[in-house]
Amino acid sequence: MTVSEKLDILQKIITEDDALNQTLDKLLDVTRAQYQLKLDKFDADLQAFESRYGMLSDEFYAKFEAGELGDAMDFFEWAGIIELRRDIQQKIEQLDALE
């Protein structure tokens, strides 16, 4: 069963808009909280890299993308965390826009 089919069923069986709204709001709150935990973990990971290499993540990423740094595995991990963090941040912003 697809997500849209499940939502259709929910909408049919929860006849009061307020009840459906509350259910969806709780789901969105839980989802946002989970994303925030991931964001906090990524921030801690980024701070560790910044401390280890003495540069901010934005500066690192620009140099990494320009090919100015080597091919160390740490650099690929650091860049990956930056990209994952950006994705999570965008999702949180989308959820915040619903409020």
State how many domains the chain has.
1
The pTM of the full predicted model, rounded to 2 decimals, is 0.81
pLDDT at 80: 98
pLDDT at 23: 84
Tell me the per-residue pLDDT of 10-20, one tens digit each, with 9 for 90 and over: 778 877 777 77
Domain, as residue range, for 79: 3-97
Given phi > 0 = left and psi -120 to 50 = alpha, else beta, which region is 54? left
| C-alpha–C-alpha distance, residues 19 and 15, integer Å | 8
SS (HEC) of 42-82: HHHHHHHHHHHHCCCHHHHHHHHHCCCCCCCHHHHHHHHHH
Q: Which of 80, 85, 64, 83 is nearest to 55 (CA)?
A: 64
User: How does residue 66 score in pLDDT terms, banded at 50, 70 and 90?
Assistant: very high
User: How does residue 34 score in pLDDT terms, banded at 50, 70 and 90?
Assistant: very high
